[in-house]
Amino acid sequence: MVLPAGKCCALGGVPVAATLALADGRLFGNPQVVWVDGDLLPNTRVEHDVPEFGKSPQIVSFFGTRIVVRRADGSLLTTSVSPYPSMLFEFVNDNVQRWEDAVRLCRFVHSDSLWATLAAMAVRGLHLDTAEIALAAIDEVDKLHYILYMKDIPSEKGRMAELALYRRDLESAEQILLHASPPLTYRAIKMNVRLCRWERALELACQHSKHVDTVLWYRQKFLTAHERTETIQRFVKLNKETDINEDEIKARKAKEKSDEVARYGGGAPAEAKA
């Protein structure tokens, strides 16, 4: 059973006030992080052994630091948890987002579980500066590099798409890019290339009549690097029909990036970031 503390705010339709889960004689703190980044869940989890609750207990109320649980025999027991998660969620809610205060709290408490919780909240809220600080504090180097990559994307839709991809929601990420105004077609194609979804990347390129040669070029590089030969018949056919000019492809890629920067502002992204 999962129950939030006090008043909840919304996080993609999921309650994100400080929450607890009660299972197998243990209280688990902050289980809602799984909806943002399941990899962070072990870091955010704070477990409390509560064997006195017996079998089939139910959380009756959770407010502040106090939890009231009903045992199977109907009796009520009270226990308490750390006040810091609730304080963190008070700093970051729908009405007031005090990210700097949240960072100061984590620095004061010096708890990896609190930092990980803040990281998940900041990623979902697209407050990438805070996410960068929090992930660095818990040495999540790979996630930190991805956040830095996201920060260099000039368009908000591009960042939102990468956030969806971070959450492993590939379909949403692609739709965000394709429904942007104007559509970020090249980013959608390149995202599928990055994920080695070659047939989908080629389908998008053919559908929009652009970057077909780009997809073929990336596919050839991939096969060469892995010492493999082409087995997808559509690629075999298009390779025979398409003139692949590496210089033209690179020039077109550079133009796509510069056009995106011109439309949305921000510094020009580096070659490896698009």
Query: Each residue of 155-209: pLDDT tens digit?
Result: 999 999 998 998 888 999 999 999 998 899 999 999 999 999 999 999 999 999 9
Predicted TM-score (pTM) of this structure: 0.73
d(C-alpha 60, C-alpha 67), whole Å? 8
**26, β-bridge pairs:** 23, 49
More confidently predicted of 59 and 122: 122
Q: Mean pLDDT lowest for which of 77-86, 118-127, 217-226, 252-261? A: 77-86
234 backbone dihedrals φ, ψ, rounded to 5°: -65, -35
Quickly count: other Cβ atoms within 10 Å of residue 211's Cβ. Answer: 25
More confidently predicted of 11 and 73: 73
* Closest C-alpha to 163, from 154, 19, 259, 172: 172
* Closest C-alpha to 269, from 257, 259, 252, 253: 257
Mean pLDDT of the chain: 82
pLDDT band of residue 63 (cuts 50, 70, 90) is confident
Contact 105, 114 (CB under 8 A): yes
Angle at 255 between CA 254 and CA 259, to 5 degrees: 120
Name the residue ranges covered by the structural domains of the chain.
2-82, 185-274
d(C-alpha 210, C-alpha 233), whole Å? 20
Per-residue pLDDT for 152 more than 80? yes
